[in-house]
Structure 1
Amino acid sequence: MPTVDDVARVAQVSRQTVSNVLNSPDIVREGTRARVQQAIDDLGYRPHASARRLRTRKSSTIGVRLDPLRDGISGAVLDRFVHKLAEQADARDLRVMIFTADGHDDELAHIRRLRDGSDVDAFVLIGTDHGDSRISWLIDNRVPFVSFGRPWGAEHPNPRHRWIDVDGRSGVRDAVAHLRASGARRIGWIGWPSPSGTGDERRAGWVEACGLDEADRARYSAITEDGVPEGSRCAEGMLALAEPPDAIVCASDSLALGALMAAQAAGRPDLPVVGFDDTPVAAAVGLSSIEQPLDEVVAAALALLFGPHGDDVLPNPDSDEEPTHRLLVPRLVERRSSHLRLGGNPGA
């Protein structure tokens, strides 16, 4: 790896001059500064991150709370998000600090400690809910942050809240429209109890595109907590109807996997089932699912916090003159959901 001495030699300046260009460029004459910068570019020199942190008194660290481990399906999307955050942060010479907390209050206690100790420059909140207490506290205390999740239930969102979210409503709506274009007419829905910002949005997409009247929407929809057994029980009830659904869309891959198992048990292995999140389990069993663009989510989060390419955290915005949020569009990953008989012999 090239060093400061290498840059000084190529630019024919002293080591101190290279340091001045890196740390106090305004005191260096323009011609000298340009020559040093050219040597830096030619050599591919990168200032040592640890030394810069000591010099600037910035941690170059992003804090993110990792939620308690849920089932291996639903938790996969957040695991992938954190992994991609670490990868893209590293490309900017940033680090990611992961911590755990028991609820919002405990998370804020961790944030206060990490911020007061200058251990973390900015935070990423994963998941938001109605009246989220973390958001108002972070804004009031001028702690730089961005959330993966929008301000649910806020009639007038605070422009100082930077957020990224995935448009689950449009994702489900497009998936249902695709099923209808393929001939499905009674498309069922299995989702989460309300209020759930994410769950309510996804259900709204089904309502908009399913083409069912109010009575049939009640007949072909089920609400449950997330999980494979829960999805299976809900699908069993729908499939026992005199006119069962000819397709089922679910708020998560966990629910969809349960629905797929119920369809197999009911002798309906060809029933189209669509989940949400496109987890590794969905890919393994051939389950169609709606994919969140996590690479784009992470890139947008870092851009809102540090600018397009920088590593210095930006202060929380004071107005809505500049965009402070991104709403990204997911896509349907279509697979043959019936190629594997779950719980049986795949070769049978």
Structure 2
Amino acid sequence: MSKLPTVEDVALAAGVSRQTVSNVINSPAIVRESTRERVEQAIADLGYRPHMAARRLRTQRSSTIGIHLDPYAGGISGVVLDRFVHALTERAGERGMRIQLYAARTPTEEIAKMGELSDGGEIDAVVITGTFHGDPRTRWLAERGIPFVAFGRPWGDDDVEAPAHLWVDVDGAAGTRAATEHLLSLAGPRLAFLGWPSGSGTGDDRERGWVEAMAAADASGPRYVCEESVGQARALVGGILAAGPDIDGIVCVSDSLAIGAHLAATEAGRGDFPVVGFDNTPPAEALGISSVEQLPEQVAAGVLELLMGPSGSVIAPRRAEAGAAHVLVTPRLVVR
């Protein structure tokens, strides 16, 4: 294997000193244009790449934000996080920052990976996703003094007035409230909610929007529970439509459950049975199912605003102060 080119090789090829090469890489404005062009040509010809670890030692910054890459598990709704990571990468690049993806199967593994990247000076900050009650990652990051923002609220008693950390989230209750109000005006007052088992912060938040909208309309309807599975939702709703109470429509906690409900209604000869999902995924669009759009691009913008503000670098860890510690993105209902 051939030896990788060094800064000394570049200096020799360009006929300049090692310090001049370093200046071209780190402070090009102070180098005369003709000299800078000669050094840059030598760098290109040799295929030289600055040693990032050494550069980090000089600047004490990596200009990099770490984010966990969820393992592929199939399904439908994962597209939202994919869009978020894409948007975060794009917007971070516009601010002169890079995104470092890392994989981990459990919170414990993720903490170990964050520690490795932070100790090695490879990241300046972290974005975590999928927060939950008692999340050990947020406590670990806070104790280590690593700047971070969560896509997902802390799930404390009062995340707005007494936030545990900086966070950005989608207002799930606002989304299902809009979906419920839409179906109330379109179909009738007997609307069911198809949600996940209790205990999921995100699921409970979305259910709250249905409860509030139904109460405001003096309407009532049953709540059904299903795991995140198209097949299980299909079987459940099929049984409900065949023998259960007469309902006018279903508000679903996710597109996966909405697709299952839609397929069950179609099989029962009720293809026009109103169903609304959440996430506005391509499969829901293809089937013509109305759904709540999370707007992950706005989430990404909110994350970077909390991490960096108007500056060009990550803000040092700061206290999560009421009124300035979160961004709550209002989703939009896409009617089909």
Instruction: Name the TM-score class by shorter chain.
Output: 0.7 to 0.9
Q: CA contact under 8 A between 1:190 and 1:234: conserved in structure 2?
A: no
Q: Deviations over 1:19-54 (max 9, x none)?
A: 88979xxxxxxxxxxxxxxxxxxxxxxxx9x89867
State the TM-score, normalizing by the size of structure 1. Answer: 0.77
The structural deviation recorded for 1:153 is: 3.5
* 1:170-249 equivalences in 2 (<5 Å): 170-211=174-215, 217=221, 220-241=222-243, 243-249=245-251
The one-letter amino acid paired with 2:325 is T
- In structure 2, the CA distance between the partners of 1:323 and 1:147, relative to structure 1 (3 Å rule), is same
CA-atom RMSD in angstroms = 2.9
Could you tell me how far apart the structure 2 residues matched to 1:321 and 1:292 are? 24
Change (3 A) 1:240 1:221: farther
The correspondence for 2:78, drawn from 75, 86, 96, is: 75
CA distance in 2 between partners of 1:319 and 1:228 (Å): 39
Structure 2 equivalent of residue 33 of structure 1: none
Q: Does 1:102 align with 2:93?
A: no
In 2, the alpha carbon distance for the partners of 1:302 and 1:80 equals: 15
Distance 2:147 2:297 in 1: 21
Give me the TM-score of the superposition, normalised by structure 2. Answer: 0.80
- Secondary structure, counterpart of 1:289 in structure 2: strand
Contact 2:189 2:220 in 1 (8 A): no
Q: Is the 8 A contact 2:56 2:62 kept in 1?
A: yes
The answer to whether the 8 Å contact 1:166/1:327 transfers is yes
Partner of 1:11: none
Shift of 1:216: 5.5
**CA-to-partner distance for each residue in 1:313-342, whole Å, 9 max, x for gaps?**
11222251660111111110001xxxxxxx
State the number of aligned residues. 294
Q: Distance in 1 between matches of 2:295 and 2:163?
A: 24
Query: Where do residues 252-331 of structure 1 align in structure 2 (5 Å cutoff)?
Result: 252-308=254-310, 310-318=311-319, 320=321, 323-331=324-332
Whether 2:59 is the aligned partner of 1:56: answer: yes
The corresponding residue for 2:121 is 118
Q: State how far apart, in whole Å, the 1-side matches of 2:316 and 2:203 are.
A: 32
Q: Secondary structure at the match of 1:120?
A: coil
2:156 matched to 1:153?
Answer: yes
SS across alignment from 1:320: coil
Runs of 4+ in structure 1 off by over 3 angstroms are 19-23, 50-55, 153-160, 211-217
| Counterpart residue type for residue 83 of structure 1 | H
Cα distance in 1, alignment partners of residues 190 and 55 from structure 2? 61
Between the two proteins, what is the percent identity of the paired residues? 47
SS in structure 2 opposite 1:264?
helix
Q: Deviations over 1:86-120 (max 9, x none)?
A: 11111112111111112111100000000000001
Letter in 1 for 2:110: E
**Structure 1 residue 138 displacement after superposition:** 0.8
Contact 1:276 1:289 (C-alpha < 8 Å) held by counterparts? yes
Post-superposition offset of 1:213 = 11
The secondary structure found in structure 1 opposite 2:228 is: coil
User: Aligned partner of 1:323: which letter?
Assistant: A
**Structure 1 unaligned regions, length at least 5:** 1-15, 24-47, 336-348
What is the CA distance between 1:181 and its match in structure 2? 1.6
Query: Kindly tell me: are residues 234 and 215 of structure 1, through their superposed partners in 2, closer, same or farther at Cα, counting changes over 3 Å?
Result: farther
- 1:57 is displaced (CA, Å) by 2.9
**2:89 is aligned with 1:86:** yes
CA distance 1:232–1:178, shift in 2 (3 Å): same
CA distance in 2, matches of 1:211, 1:322: 29
Contact 1:139–1:160 (Cα < 8 Å) also in 2: no
State which drifts further: 50-59 or 325-334.
50-59
CA 1:285–1:213 in 2, change beyond 3 Å: closer, same or farther? closer
- Structure 2 distance, partners of 1:71, 1:259, is 19
Q: Which amino acid aligns with 1:76?
A: V
**Contact in 1 for aligned 2:165/2:319 (Cα 8 Å):** no
My pick for the range that moved more, 63-72 or 96-105, is 63-72
Give, as a single letter, the amino acid of the residue that structure 2 aligns with 1:119: E
